[in-house]
Structure 1
Amino acid sequence: ITFKDKPSRADIAVREGDVLFARMKGTKKVLRVTQELADVIVSTGFAVLRPGEDCDPAYLAAYLSTDYFERQKEKYCSGAIQPAITNGGIEKLQIPLPPLNDQIRIAHLLGKVAGLIAQRKQHLQQLDDLLKSVFLEMFGDPILNPNGFPVRRLSEFYVNPKEGTKCGPFGSALKKEELVDSGVPVWNMDNIAADGHMALPFRMWITKDKFEDLAAYSVQDGDIIISRAGTVGKMCVAYTNGEPAIISTNLIRLRLGSNLRPLHFVSLMLYCKGRVGRLKTGADGAFTHMNTGVLDSLEFPYPPIELQDQFGAIFGKVESIRARYRQSLADLEDLYGALSQKAFKGELDLSRMPLPRQVEEVPNLTIRATGESTISVSFLLPAPKDPEWLTVGNRQKLIEFWLTAWCEHYVEVPFEASKFLDAAYQQLVELTERNSFQFDKPGKGLDEAKWYEEPAPFGIDEYDQIKKWVFDALAAGKLNQVFQNNQIALL
């Protein structure tokens, strides 16, 4: 947008190194302004902090992202309709400020864990995208129905007319004071993840006697649990291992017979959202809800049961990987929380943690391919057979090994030194970080953790090696200079 068209509240100019946080109570948003974001204008809904020389911006951003800062901020929020912190309240905020080098260490450490968390989330999203792609490839768009599957009503597949669908108990049947600290689990909307899987742990329970009273609302293995208020239409397949459970007020239980796999229906509704009927009732923008009648009338293309089972087998293999990534993500988030808590309380021993290295400035190679790149980001350079090649003293062997693998993979793609080095360093970090944040032996605390130093960035020596390799490859006929797009490229 232009300055003239900007919203009236977009009135604060920021520069590189500034740290922003949302003023409004209950809004946890923090942003560190990087070089790419410098000179943008932000809303007055953000407070802009400009750290001095004794405060590292990355450290400040990490602290502002914590729950304990958020609690401190909310203590000074004021206002009846939209409580927010004023400049006067900001002046009362307190931030722990260790020596600058320790701030840098803390920010670097938390940044590495945060990077791994982001990586795990990306992996999970990629697996979700893979399953969606497989589903659409096998079954097609339900509106277009390219496979010509017969269109059937969901109600045809209920286990029986009485138990096919069931809304959760009314509030009078399950009162808040009847919930206990342990016992028979009660499903609520938080137990249905947005990506269609069952989200644990349970947070509500009832006694066995109360369960007997509410047995009509019980959950069995293979039931589909659907939210009917709030985020209407979230659903997942329940896996209870035979243990009893019930649904709560704002949920619907869908119980199918043997001719429609629960996984197929959930996947259909998840991957083809909005293309298989409308689950909500009520005008858009108003309070919406869902009733069992909406499910009764739902129509969709019905594929053969064998094809449903084939997708189920694929799903099972991918789900085993997703489960490991989810556990890894949970572990990393727990680790981040524990590290940040100790770090900001001054309880983390940083004496053995090295300061992060600064990236060495290197000149551009004069011989490189230019023009539009067609390199696929999916190619990972192979791990060397000898782990010693990952050390600084063996960089020459590692670079030569990876150059050969790179050129064997990208036979018809122009060689670009910068892209090769980016991929090589990324893989070097990944391989050397696989043991990062691990303890020397089980039972050791965070203070006794073994810190792993980040690999030294590639510099002049690696660039010189690549230049020599390029000239040697040209002389040996392994690379050829060709004229592409009015430029010289190496193939």
Structure 2
Amino acid sequence: MRIVTLGEVCKVVSGSTPKRERAEYWGGTIPWVTPKEINRLTSPYLWGSEENITEEGFNSCSTSMLPVGSILLSSRAPIGLLAINKIPVCTNQGFKSLVPSNEVNAEYLYYVLKANVKALQARGNGATFKELAKPAVENFEIPLPPIDDQLRIAHLLAKVEGLIAQRKQNLQHLDDLLNSVFLEMFGDPVRNEKGWDKPALTAFGKISTGNTPLRSESANYDGDFIEWIKTDNIKGDVVCVTTSTEYLSEIGARKARTVTSGALLVACIAGSVESIGRAALTDRTVSFNQQINAIQPGIDVNPLYLYGLFKLSRGYIQSHATKGMKKILTKGDFEKITMIKPPFEMQNQFAVIVEKVEGIKSRYKQSLTDMESLYGAISQQAFKGELDLSRVPLPKLSTQHISPVPIGDQATVPEPVVQSASRIHLPDNGNLLAALENSEARKALMAEWLEAYRRQLGNAPFSAQDFMVAVSDRLTEWLQTVVEDEAVADEQKNRLAEFYTSNDVGLYVNDYEHIKKWVFEALAAGALTQGDNKVDNRIELKAVQS
């Protein structure tokens, strides 16, 4: 195994941005990529761009075309985002991309750089923000085994990475299952379409706010009598609070606020509204700080039901926080929040399901931890030349080597296959107002919009996420129009304000269930087809156009 610099085996290519004020530079057929697009990728591969430039825009700046199989490496904000392009692209100035020679395999280069992101970041310079200069990239050293071993290493790491992604997806599906069960049993907790009692939180149990014993009195902290929980111990995907790194002494505990097992701790002070409402249960007696409000459930409230309720009501809870720089949900405001309270027997039925699913999740999480450790060990050994590759089969190459695009000749810009993310057009419909108020009308409207989206797809894959973002944006836009419309009755506006306290129409899990049902029906009817995307190792849905 040799040690080489990137400059020895790659051409390092910078990007640039055409002037934004020149409309004729934008909206062409040449894919133009920014680091934020790479940050959103869920696989190593880039198949399209969010923006395209014209040939005139391309020639107006110093960007360059990158051939298929190049490595896009972000060089600032942040350093170290990576992707392999599957179509010819150019980039903005936030990249130092690599066009590999025949000596280095693109996938191997991707994984060896991924293993060295911290080292790349350490090469960054700059007072305001760090940036990776072209010479720093060219002089960066990597291990370079023979090409066959490069293929084996990349193949092996991709396999383990695929298993990790699959296990994460399994965990997400289990979370989705619990959300679906909750909605099936109790309905949407904000809309309360099933008409449950909806009392203030004081009816759910005793509410208290944590505190911080004086730091100046060291005796409060010189023992490990009881854990002192902070908001970073409340994770979004973990039922119970994690183990704290800080403890109080017996003296400190007497000055602190504590709760016993089964209490719900809720983050109520945070720098951003997204952190407000994050909740977790206690499975032991703990103390907690003043950024947390706690509910010690009463005898008619099941803690696991309460946890599920808060998990599906984050946006609703966040809407009650202050709107200033620091988001705060005071104890007084927290206590006034009204939430659905179905019969205790039904809460217990839901809790039984949660316990079973959480048992499965626990095993999956351990499996995920093991696979991530395996990936780290394989990666470390492979790039040190310590891995026995004799039993790793040599994978078949899916594509032949693609010659680099001439970078100096700006007149010979190739005509790429553009698969950029286009705006989804959702047609106007008289049911829009009804969809804001009524779930059945919303379901019918979404079915109509799904069909409209299907007809717009062409050869692009169906994306539930893209569709849901488009629906949320469209309904939010319509809500704002309704609020400003003097012809709409105040009573109707007030009713909408109750549902949408933040003037933002988010989609709920039952909306996702409607989409899933439509997809299954479309597959059965032959309007969608299902296939394997072998590159990304995932199932892909495509429209059948009549």
Give the equivalent residue in structure 2 for 1:220.
260
User: C-alpha distance in 2, partners of 1:47/1:249?
Assistant: 46
Q: CA deviation at 1:413?
A: 6.6
Deviations 1:248-278 (A, max 9, x none): 4543333222222222222122223324562
Give the count of matched residue pairs.
362
Asked if 2 retains the 8 angstrom alpha-carbon contact of 1:132 and 1:271, the reply is: yes
User: C-alpha distance in 2, partners of 1:20/1:358?
Assistant: 21
Could you say if the C-alpha distance between residues 144 and 233 of structure 1 is closer, same or farther in structure 2, counting changes exceeding 3 Å? closer
For residue 239 of structure 1, give the secondary structure of its aligned residue in structure 2: coil
User: C-alpha distance in 1, partners of 2:95/2:158?
Assistant: 23
- 2:239 is the alignment partner of 1:192: no
Could you say if the C-alpha distance between residues 351 and 127 of structure 1 is closer, same or farther in structure 2, counting changes exceeding 3 Å? same
Give the equivalent residue in structure 1 for 2:419.
none
- 2:329 is the alignment partner of 1:290: yes
Give the equivalent residue in structure 1 for 2:212.
169
310-319 or 220-229, larger mean C-alpha shift: 220-229
Asked if 1 retains the 8 angstrom alpha-carbon contact of 2:80 and 2:121, the reply is: no
> Which structure has the greater CA radius of gyration?
1
Give the equivalent residue in structure 1 for 2:307.
266
Could you say if the C-alpha distance between residues 319 and 141 of structure 1 is closer, same or farther in structure 2, counting changes exceeding 3 Å? same
- Relative to the length of structure 2, the TM-score reads 0.58
Asked if 2 retains the 8 angstrom alpha-carbon contact of 1:179 and 1:205, the reply is: no
Q: CA deviation at 1:18?
A: 0.9
- Pick one of 266, 278, 281 that aligns with 1:237: 281
Query: Could you tell me which amino acid in structure 2 is paired with residue 142 of structure 1?
Result: P
Give the equivalent residue in structure 2 for 1:50.
99
- Pick one of 310, 331, 344 that aligns with 1:305: 344
Structure 2: gaps spanning 5 or more residues: 1-22, 35-50, 52-62, 400-457, 459-522, 539-543
Give the equivalent residue in structure 2 for 1:465.
none
Query: Could you tell me which amino acid in structure 2 is paired with residue 166 of structure 1?
Result: T
User: C-alpha distance in 2, partners of 1:64/1:221?
Assistant: 46
Could you say if the C-alpha distance between residues 61 and 320 of structure 1 is closer, same or farther in structure 2, counting changes exceeding 3 Å? same
Query: Could you tell me which amino acid in structure 1 is paired with residue 65 of structure 2?
Result: A
For residue 221 of structure 1, give the secondary structure of its aligned residue in structure 2: coil
User: C-alpha distance in 2, partners of 1:219/1:49?
Assistant: 55
Could you say if the C-alpha distance between residues 358 and 82 of structure 1 is closer, same or farther in structure 2, counting changes exceeding 3 Å? closer
User: C-alpha distance in 1, partners of 2:196/2:318?
Assistant: 17
User: C-alpha distance in 2, partners of 1:486/1:70?
Assistant: 44
Could you say if the C-alpha distance between residues 261 and 119 of structure 1 is closer, same or farther in structure 2, counting changes exceeding 3 Å? same
User: C-alpha distance in 2, partners of 1:238/1:65?
Assistant: 37
Q: CA deviation at 1:349?
A: 1.8
For residue 385 of structure 2, give the secondary structure of its aligned residue in structure 1: coil
For residue 146 of structure 1, give the secondary structure of its aligned residue in structure 2: coil
Asked if 1 retains the 8 angstrom alpha-carbon contact of 2:152 and 2:389, the reply is: yes
User: C-alpha distance in 1, partners of 2:241/2:151?
Assistant: 36
- 2:160 is the alignment partner of 1:113: yes
Question: Segments of 4+ in structure 1 off by > 4 A?
Answer: 5-12, 25-28, 177-180, 412-415
Could you say if the C-alpha distance between residues 486 and 166 of structure 1 is closer, same or farther in structure 2, counting changes exceeding 3 Å? closer
User: C-alpha distance in 2, partners of 1:137/1:144?
Assistant: 14
Could you say if the C-alpha distance between residues 155 and 486 of structure 1 is closer, same or farther in structure 2, counting changes exceeding 3 Å? closer
Asked if 2 retains the 8 angstrom alpha-carbon contact of 1:151 and 1:300, the reply is: yes
Asked if 2 retains the 8 angstrom alpha-carbon contact of 1:32 and 1:57, the reply is: yes
User: C-alpha distance in 2, partners of 1:183/1:26?
Assistant: 42
For residue 328 of structure 1, give the secondary structure of its aligned residue in structure 2: helix
User: C-alpha distance in 1, partners of 2:351/2:90?
Assistant: 49
Query: Could you tell me which amino acid in structure 2 is paired with residue 20 of structure 1?
Result: L
Query: Could you tell me which amino acid in structure 2 is paired with residue 265 of structure 1?
Result: L
Q: CA deviation at 1:134?
A: 1.1
Query: Could you tell me which amino acid in structure 2 is paired with residue 317 of structure 1?
Result: K
User: C-alpha distance in 1, partners of 2:239/2:545?
Assistant: 52
Deviations 1:444-486 (A, max 9, x none): xxxxxxxxxxxxxxxxxxxxxxxxxxxxxxxxxxxxxxxxx99
User: C-alpha distance in 1, partners of 2:311/2:136?
Assistant: 44
Could you say if the C-alpha distance between residues 358 and 99 of structure 1 is closer, same or farther in structure 2, counting changes exceeding 3 Å? closer
- 2:205 is the alignment partner of 1:158: yes
User: C-alpha distance in 1, partners of 2:145/2:248?
Assistant: 50
Asked if 2 retains the 8 angstrom alpha-carbon contact of 1:184 and 1:207, the reply is: yes
Could you say if the C-alpha distance between residues 319 and 96 of structure 1 is closer, same or farther in structure 2, counting changes exceeding 3 Å? same
- Pick one of 295, 298, 305 that aligns with 1:254: 295
Map 1:309-324 to 2 at 5 A. 309-324=348-363
User: C-alpha distance in 2, partners of 1:205/1:223?
Assistant: 19
- 2:329 is the alignment partner of 1:280: no
For residue 349 of structure 1, give the secondary structure of its aligned residue in structure 2: coil
Could you say if the C-alpha distance between residues 310 and 70 of structure 1 is closer, same or farther in structure 2, counting changes exceeding 3 Å? same
Q: CA deviation at 1:154?
A: 0.2
Asked if 2 retains the 8 angstrom alpha-carbon contact of 1:28 and 1:70, the reply is: yes
Q: CA deviation at 1:2?
A: 8.8
Asked if 2 retains the 8 angstrom alpha-carbon contact of 1:229 and 1:288, the reply is: yes
Q: CA deviation at 1:171?
A: 7.0
Q: CA deviation at 1:5?
A: 5.1
Asked if 1 retains the 8 angstrom alpha-carbon contact of 2:281 and 2:303, the reply is: yes
* Superposition CA RMSD, Å: 3.9
Could you say if the C-alpha distance between residues 337 and 81 of structure 1 is closer, same or farther in structure 2, counting changes exceeding 3 Å? same
User: C-alpha distance in 1, partners of 2:348/2:545?
Assistant: 54
Query: Could you tell me which amino acid in structure 2 is paired with residue 224 of structure 1?
Result: L
Asked if 2 retains the 8 angstrom alpha-carbon contact of 1:72 and 1:93, the reply is: no
Q: CA deviation at 1:75?
A: 2.0
Give the equivalent residue in structure 2 for 1:398.
none
Give the equivalent residue in structure 1 for 2:75.
23
Asked if 2 retains the 8 angstrom alpha-carbon contact of 1:196 and 1:234, the reply is: no
Give the equivalent residue in structure 1 for 2:246.
205
Q: CA deviation at 1:60?
A: 1.3
Map 1:24-39 to 2 at 5 A. 24=76, 27-33=79-85, 35=86, 38-39=87-88
Query: Could you tell me which amino acid in structure 2 is paired with residue 319 of structure 1?
Result: E
Structure 1: gaps spanning 5 or more residues: 361-371, 373-411, 431-484
User: C-alpha distance in 2, partners of 1:95/1:156?
Assistant: 62
Could you say if the C-alpha distance between residues 59 and 252 of structure 1 is closer, same or farther in structure 2, counting changes exceeding 3 Å? farther
Asked if 1 retains the 8 angstrom alpha-carbon contact of 2:75 and 2:131, the reply is: yes
Relative contact order higher in (CA < 8 Å, ≥ 6 apart): 2
Q: CA deviation at 1:224?
A: 1.3
Q: CA deviation at 1:156?
A: 2.2
Q: CA deviation at 1:108?
A: 0.9
Query: Could you tell me which amino acid in structure 2 is paired with residue 16 of structure 1?
Result: V
Give the equivalent residue in structure 1 for 2:43.
none
Map 1:390-409 to 2 at 5 A. none
Could you say if the C-alpha distance between residues 294 and 86 of structure 1 is closer, same or farther in structure 2, counting changes exceeding 3 Å? farther
For residue 49 of structure 1, give the secondary structure of its aligned residue in structure 2: strand
Structure that is richer in strand per residue: 2
24-33 or 118-127, larger mean C-alpha shift: 24-33
Asked if 1 retains the 8 angstrom alpha-carbon contact of 2:71 and 2:110, the reply is: yes
